[in-house]
Amino acid sequence: MIVLLLLSCKSKIPIHNEPTTPSDTLQTYTVTPENVMEASLYLPDEYMNFNEIGHNADSILASHLQIEMIDKKLFETQQGTAVSFWEEDVKGVVKIDTVLTVKTRDTILTFIDDLTDTEMHRTFSYEGRLPVINHFVVLGTYYEDYGYMLFESDTGYNTSTYQSFPLISPDKKFIISLYADIYSPQTGELSIEKIEGGEIIPLLNVSFTNWMPQESFFGADGYLYVSVNHPSQYWKADGDVNDMHQYMRIKIL
């Protein structure tokens, strides 16, 4: 039996949820075809440590991704074709009080909540399976952070941890995680991993400067569809997330 007490992502310090302009519309700052690809690019080295790329970063990113601004009508039309490989399957999963156990082929993983109001606070919840890659997902929520942990269903090995639920492309070649980093600086964070020969291989991480995602899904046409806001328009004046969006689709090349 393997006991996992704490699996945490890097802790961050929040900023105030206030718009940086006096307007709640998209009239002042918008995402455009000219600025949509502005980003910091990080690629893995031979030890799978990510390093920021300076030289030729724009051309390298363009060789991996194509981003196109679209209208709301196309976004909503493609919602009806959304592809998901997620299954709720709870076989072998038990949560009693503060203890979550997940049975794999080779072992039993145990996650123990800590409900104290301290920096050790943590809770765990089972989020379902991705049988197409033979993995399941556990969400760990911590004092100032959270992470969606991907575990191999046979060995129980923790393959990856994400800041949003991992999505698998319709061709089953890529895993992506896309989320809005609401801390300073506010960015759109995208990670892509390649599925190859039964292995999950890190491909790239990108921090987009001029947009933050809201809803995202893979359409049947293979594109990743995303509703977005410019960072200056992510929050409304009352502190709630803006419900006015722009829309884009991303093609992994």
Under the banding of pLDDT at 50, 70 and 90, the label for residue 17 is very low
Instruction: Tally the residues of the chain.
Output: 253
Contact 174, 191 (CB under 8 A): no
208-238 core/surface letters (b: 16 or more CB in 10 A; e: else): bbbbbbbebbbbeeebbbbbbbbbbbbbeee
Q: Does 79 score more than 80 pLDDT?
A: yes
Whether residue 185 is preceded by a cis peptide bond, meaning omega within 30 degrees of 0, is yes
Beta-bridge mates of residue 100: 95, 111
Question: What is the average per-residue pLDDT within 25-38?
Answer: 81
Under the banding of pLDDT at 50, 70 and 90, the label for residue 46 is confident
Beta-bridge mates of residue 158: 151
- Compare 98 and 6 and report the one with higher pLDDT: 98
**Per-residue pLDDT, 185:** 86
Q: Give residue for tokens 């987009």.
A: 208
For the chain, the structural domain boundaries read 28-85+170-253, 87-164
Contact 93, 110 (CB under 8 A): no
**Per-residue pLDDT, 38:** 97
User: Residue 115: what residue type?
Assistant: L
Compute CA distances 40 → 20, 98, 188, 207, 226, whole Å.
Answer: 22, 40, 10, 5, 19
pLDDT tens digits, residue range 127-159?
999 999 999 999 999 998 999 999 999 999 999
pLDDT over 70, % of the chain: 89
Question: What is the average per-residue pLDDT within 185-192?
Answer: 95
Q: Does 20 score more than 70 pLDDT?
A: no
Q: Does 21 score more than 70 pLDDT?
A: no
pTM of the model: 0.86
Among residues 127, 169, 157, 122, the alpha carbon closest in space to that of 141 is found at 122
Among residues 85, 188, 174, the alpha carbon closest in space to that of 137 is found at 85
Q: Does 8 score more than 80 pLDDT?
A: no
For residue 52, the 8-state DSSP code is E
